[in-house]
Structure 1
Amino acid sequence: MADIELDLDVPSGTLAEVVEVLHAAFLQFGDAGKPSGAMLETVESLDGERAEGTRIGVARLGGRVVAVVKHRPTEDGRLYFSRLGVAPGHRGRGIAGALVHALREDAHARTLRGLACSVRAEETGNIALYERLGMSVWGHGRQRSLTGAEIPVVRMRDA
């Protein structure tokens, strides 16, 4: 997308806008009776994660944040991303794909082995998207949400 602006490491001053987009992007899970821990994210919690090495990336359209992703290197030498969310109304435009491509380029520039993520097992559309973007399922498990819920997930990574 020619008009999309990507920034993989936003400053603290952007975090209020990040939280707003996270909440909008993950609201659907609560509506389905399975609330996401993303709804508990705050400027302070994200700032705390940043202090521990997590970077926050965004996609902007017209200067406004419309998508968010958190990412950090893992012990096995990959770039793990989470909370990739696109605000409703901006989905289906290739924004998530643009963020994944930018993350992969960043991983390679940092001499990491590629990308990794976990996806709710029931989110078959997201799993298929990441597969189209060059990732594959390598495992299954359960992940504890900030809400305390145990969520079945698939673990994905670059081949």
Structure 2
Amino acid sequence: MSDPVVLRPATPDDAPAIAATIASAFAQYRGRLVPESGAFRETEEGIAAELAKGAGAIVAERNGEMLGCVMIKVMEGDLYFGRLAVVPEARGLGLARRLVAAVEADARARGLAGVRLGVRVVLTENQRLFRSLGYVETGREAHPGFDYPTSINMRKHLLNREYDKVGR
């Protein structure tokens, strides 16, 4: 692997590659999630529309080939991320951690208080990853039509350097 992986903000032209990356990465969850992941309904048109409305994405690529991505949007004073995706052939390179770190850096640059995400209850390995990165559970919720929690909300508080200089 002589060519480095580059992380960069997505552009609307990236929508087809983002859709393909999400489809490839989330294929492992088909039949494992109830209800089925909304990732299976993502389209390049839908992603392009989200990007046009002000949502964002960060992509990881090598030699112009997309290896991973994450969608982001401001939500309740935090930066929310979803659709964290790494294609199967690029797993084990630390790209998920690098993408989350890029989301956190973006949130800090915007002066936001924290970063949040949702993860399915059954995806315990993903929960472990996020906990290892400093995320804590803030609540659970049920998808429409379910009477039990299907998703866990997690958040990481980002230190506000100005606030911390003043003291607590």
Q: TM-score range by the shorter chain?
A: 0.7 to 0.9
User: Percent sequence identity over matched residues?
Assistant: 33
Please report how far the alpha carbon of residue 149 of structure 1 lies from its aligned counterpart in structure 2 after TM superposition. Answer: 8.2
Q: Deviations over 1:10-37 (max 9, x none)?
A: 1121111111111001111224365322
Higher Rg: 2
> Does structure 2 retain, via aligned residues, the 8 Å contact 1:79–1:115?
yes
Please report how far the alpha carbon of residue 102 of structure 1 lies from its aligned counterpart in structure 2 after TM superposition. Answer: 0.9
Q: Deviations over 1:20-70 (max 9, x none)?
A: 111001111224365322121111111111222210211112321111111
Letter in 2 for 1:157: R
Q: Determine the structure 2 residue equivalent to 1:139.
A: 139
> Does structure 1 retain, via aligned residues, the 8 Å contact 2:59–2:66?
yes
The change in CA–CA distance for 1:142 and 1:60 in structure 2 (over 3 A counts) is same
Task: Say whether residues 1:157 and 2:158 are aligned partners.
Answer: no
> Does structure 1 retain, via aligned residues, the 8 Å contact 2:56–2:73?
yes
Please report how far the alpha carbon of residue 123 of structure 1 lies from its aligned counterpart in structure 2 after TM superposition. Answer: 0.6
> Matches of 1:156 and 1:54 in 2, distance apart?
20
Please report how far the alpha carbon of residue 92 of structure 1 lies from its aligned counterpart in structure 2 after TM superposition. Answer: 1.9
Q: Determine the structure 1 residue equivalent to 2:42.
A: 41
Letter in 2 for 1:63: G
Q: Determine the structure 1 residue equivalent to 2:97.
A: 97
- 5+ long unaligned stretches in structure 2: 158-168
> Matches of 1:49 and 1:149 in 2, distance apart?
27
> Matches of 1:80 and 1:126 in 2, distance apart?
16
Count of equivalent residues? 153
Q: Report the aligned-residue RMSD.
A: 2.0
SS state of the match for residue 112, structure 1? coil
SS state of the match for residue 68, structure 1? strand
Q: Deviations over 1:62-115 (max 9, x none)?
A: 32111111101112x110000001111211211000011111011011000121
> Matches of 2:57 and 2:154 in 1, distance apart?
20
TM-score in terms of structure 2 length: 0.83
Letter in 2 for 1:26: F
TM-score in terms of structure 1 length: 0.87
Q: Deviations over 1:103-153 (max 9, x none)?
A: 101101100012100001111111110111111111111235xxx989701
> Matches of 1:101 and 1:33 in 2, distance apart?
26
Task: Say whether residues 1:69 and 2:70 are aligned partners.
Answer: yes
